[in-house]
Amino acid sequence: MNAVAAALAVLLLAMPASADRSHALIGRSVQGRGINAVELGNPRSANKMLVVGCIHGNECAGLAIVEALERLATPPSLDLWLIENLNPDGYAAGTRQNAHGVDLNRNFPWAWRRLSGVYDSGSRPLSEPESRVAFRLILRVRPGISIWFHQHERVVDESGGDLAIERHFSELVGLPLRRLPREPGSAVGWENHRLPGTTAFVVELPAGSLSSSAADRYARAVLALPDLR
């Protein structure tokens, strides 16, 4: 038995850091659906990155990129965090908003203001459980780079972080780089304000679902970014 245990220990030590994997339930939606995070790579690395596959329930092509990232080997120099789906209720209903009718990307504390209709910002900043889940995780992890996937404008947004990082990603994936309007209460606006020196940006994917090859290309571009830091 000791020999078996020793052999297992040697095997674990020989495994690359990219084999490290931690799944966690980090919160629940308005309707009680689980919101999960996955940590890949080297949890001891100071080089931390966050990728959010879906924040608007009807703009979830980024889920395929998150799934591709879970399949690929993560560089041992990187601590990669994935929020698979921040809006599972909206995804189930096919709506932009969560189950309260709130646009989660207008519910963060930086430059928040009261909005109604399609872009309802909630009764106050962080009124929604889904926004609070992301808020808490980001302040705990403090990612140097965060990528939030949206649709359908086919553009990488100049979101207010390091322009070289945004430009390099746009070149890797073949999307134009353009500054979109600064929206009140947006996740990336809050991150770039709250964590100076870091870069959070939006990638607007094409309409429809991504092919497996396209999802893989985006995922590999994500993993290429830490080399710039």
Domains of the chain from N-terminus onward: 18-228 (3.40.630.10)
Q: Strands, E, within 48-207: which ranges?
A: 48-52, 79-83, 145-151, 155-157, 177-178, 199-205
pLDDT of residue 228: 55
Provide block-wise average pLDDT over 10 residues at a time, the chain (229 residues). 37 38 92 98 96 98 98 96 98 98 98 98 98 98 98 96 96 97 97 97 97 97 80
Q: Give pLDDT, residue 227.
A: 63
Give the containing element (helix H, strand E) for 7. Answer: helix 2-14
Tokens matching residue 202: 């939006």
pTM above the 0.85 mark? yes
pLDDT in the model for residue 226 = 72
User: What is the pLDDT, as a whole number, of residue 9?
Assistant: 34
